[in-house]
Amino acid sequence: MYYVVTGAAGFIGSKIVEALNRHGIADIIAVDNLQQADKVSNLAGCDIADYVDQAEFIARLDRYEGAVDAVLHQGACSDTMESDGRYMMENNYRYSKILLEWCQEEEVPLLYASSASVYGSGPEFREERRGERPLNVYGYSKFLFDQAVRERLAARTAQIAGLRYFNVYGPNEAHKGRMASVAFHAYRQLLELGRVKLFVGSGGYGNGEQRRDFIHVDDVVEVNLWFLEQRELSGIFNCGTGRAQTFNQLAAAVINSVQGTQLPVPELVGKGLIEYVPFPAGLADRYQSFTEADLSRLRAAGYSAQFMSVEQGVAAYVKALQRK
């Protein structure tokens, strides 16, 4: 029996493949679109049974009847600035719906990537319809599929678990370009420019004091694997740390990890190591100045592991980047 991982050459998908390998699982069908060929480096150290193109897989699902143990659906267009709504809905919503129907027909567990973008500007970040107001077509594509899942939960034939990822950072994200994490860009800026650029204040927050729920990719992977073992659990769950931290804190963690220091934010600003820049035109009105996962539902389901803080996670990430 095979495990299917979509988006397998991408950021989170490749880390899930790595984790499955560590658990002795290599019967993996890796599904992705390698039009961006440099993503393949994320899979180079992994063991898989087969690679299948994204379009080919969905068109030939009948070939896999009775052969799949679980599907971990991580593939999506994650560019929040994408303006082609038709592409976004076809890639993120329609594709996911086809996969959902097939998994239900086959009685195969489906774990899939949702997103905290469904909450828009907040201020509530719990898995309830009243707080879901996406600000862009990416968030809407994720929101609409979550709605389709909710309609199927009562009559499901197998596990359906959606994980709403908050701000994920960590190894294997370099290919994402502008959509890579703030931690990645901060590291690159520090090496190339000698300083980290953050946005000026917004949403009532001071310069660099906007707060996000930053979660290390290793913690995200652990949540996925836990649900894979808890096949009686279905629903939509937040996947963040439950602890908002500032962009200033993240930038300081990057700088201090690289330089081996423990300097506070005001001193880093005074030394010119943190610089505040204006928002690009049109972004400020669609910017999430605060996110923080409400973990009540995840904890009630039984997940008890702790999550890395920004300071812990960034330190580990910087070490990984320095080994490249």
Catalytic residue among 3, 93, 95, 138: 138
Catalytic residue among 176, 197, 205, 303: 176
SS (H, E, C) 58-80: HHCHHHHCCCEEEEEECCCCCCC
138 belongs to the catalytic site:
yes
Distances (CA, A) of 217 to 8, 60, 184, 233, 317: 14, 31, 12, 22, 10
176 belongs to the catalytic site:
yes
Active site residues: 138, 176
